[in-house]
């Protein structure tokens, strides 16, 4: 089952999560709201209320993907039988402490969602919907739906955070020893100009959309457009052999690439510059993805920067080394 959403970019991970939550609320509110209206006149008849909830989770019903469906009192105490299409789920504990904070702040008939949590019984990510059963100003209780995220209807379009600059600190033990180490050239440093020539051709002309250059071990890992789920690692003597171009057939540059062809070589050359710019803080790994448009660099302090390719090329030496990591 799919529900529609526009293919949007959001500025942060939290924005994306909130957008997904809104889609879930919009999707579940009509179904659970209608169920609450049906439940209101049956509230005093426990058997009829439980029967209504039981029918709602059958395989042919609107809430067939609901893990558990039950009613609670205004104080979040169990009220009805727990209904589920899975017998084992009926006997699982109702988490009163999970529901209470949301019920305490409920002030209208609108559905609420808990935060995503790991179910102690399923050991999977789950979310709970809380629908007030209300008539006028009287809250008779709440219909509670527990959902395994795997069983929720899927969106037609994914929502992804917009790519931006991120700085991530690494291992404190490495940072602590930073000023006790000095740059030691590796074999790849001696031949880096030749490596750049080969990698530039592989990316621009031969279908490589992601390249990770690992200076410490003198190797490069490549990802190919026509086989994006696999990776191909080459040691230095393989990278330096121009015959490697025979391994990767000529391919048109992808139309959906966010990195233009004339940006590839300058990015690779910037890797070289960051490698040699400082004896203490120097580049260990540089990664370029022309489809996502992101560049990732990891330094000897174990700090990592991720940013759009245009931003990466704009940053000068003062940005990287003007202040200590």
Q: What is the pTM of this model?
A: 0.69
Structure token digits, residue 200: 């530039």
Structure confidence at residue 40 as a pLDDT band (50, 70, 90)? very high
Structural domains of the chain ordered from first start? 2-155 (3.30.450.20), 164-321 (no CATH)
Token pair 């920067």: residue? 305
Q: pLDDT digit string (tens) for 114-143?
A: 999 988 777 889 999 999 998 777 889 999
Q: Give the separation between CA 133 and CA 71, rounded to whole angstroms.
A: 9
Through-space distance between the first and last CA atoms of the chain, rounded to whole angstroms: 48
161 CB neighbour count, 10 Å cutoff: 15
Structure token digits, residue 108: 């209208």
Q: Give the separation between CA 17 and CA 12, rounded to whole angstroms.
A: 9
Give the angle 11-14-18 at the CA atoms, nearest 5°.
100
Q: Is 11 helix (H, G, I), strand (E, B) or coil?
A: coil
What are phi and psi for residue 250, nearest 5 degrees?
-65, 135
Q: Give the separation between CA 285 and CA 218, rounded to whole angstroms.
A: 10
Question: What confidence score (pLDDT) does residue 106 get?
Answer: 59
Q: With the C-alpha atoms ordered 200, 202, 205, 208, is the resulting torsion angle positive or negative?
A: negative
Alpha carbon 68 to its chain's center: 27
Question: What confidence score (pLDDT) does residue 1 get?
Answer: 45
Which residues, 6 or more positions from 41, have their beta carbon under 8 angstroms from its beta carbon? none
Q: pLDDT digit string (tens) for 179-218?
A: 778 889 999 999 999 999 999 999 999 999 999 999 999 9
Q: Give the separation between CA 86 and CA 257, rounded to whole angstroms.
A: 46
């Amino acid at each position: 089952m799919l529900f529609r959403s526009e293919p949007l970019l959001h500025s942060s991970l939290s924005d994306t999560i909130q957008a997904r939550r809104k889609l879930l609320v919009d999707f579940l509110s009509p179904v659970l709201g209608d169920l609450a209206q049906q439940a209101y006149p049956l509230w005093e008849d426990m058997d009829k209320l439980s029967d209504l909830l039981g029918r709602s989770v059958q395989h042919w019903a609107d809430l067939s993907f609901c893990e558990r469906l039950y009613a609670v009192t205004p104080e979040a105490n169990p009220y009805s039988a727990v209904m589920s299409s899975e017998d084992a789920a009926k006997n699982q504990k109702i988490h009163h402490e999970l529901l209470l904070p949301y019920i305490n702040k409920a002030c209208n008939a609108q559905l609420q969602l808990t935060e995503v949590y790991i179910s102690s019984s399923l050991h999977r990510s789950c979310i709970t919907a809380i629908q007030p059963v209300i008539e006028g100003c009287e809250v008779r209780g709440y219909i509670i739906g527990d959902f395994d995220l795997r069983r929720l209807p899927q969106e037609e379009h994914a929502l992804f955070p917009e790519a931006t600059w991120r700085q991530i600190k690494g291992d404190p033990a490495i940072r602590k020893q930073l000023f006790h180490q000095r740059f030691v050239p590796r074999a790849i440093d001696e031949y880096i100009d030749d490596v750049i020539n080969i990698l530039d051709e592989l990316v621009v002309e031969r279908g490589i959309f992601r390249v990770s250059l690992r200076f410490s071990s003198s190797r490069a890992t490549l990802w190919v457009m026509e086989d994006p789920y696999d990776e191909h690692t080459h040691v230095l003597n393989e990278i330096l052999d121009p015959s490697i171009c025979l391994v990767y057939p000529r391919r048109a540059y992808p139309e959906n690439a966010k990195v233009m062809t004339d940006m590839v070589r300058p990015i690779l050359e910037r890797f070289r510059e960051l490698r040699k710019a400082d004896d203490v803080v120097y580049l260990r790994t540089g990664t370029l993805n022309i489809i996502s448009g992101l560049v990732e660099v990891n330094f000897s302090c174990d700090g990592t920067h991720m940013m759009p390719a245009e931003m990466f090329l704009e940053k000068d030496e003062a940005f990287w080394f003007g202040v200590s990591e």
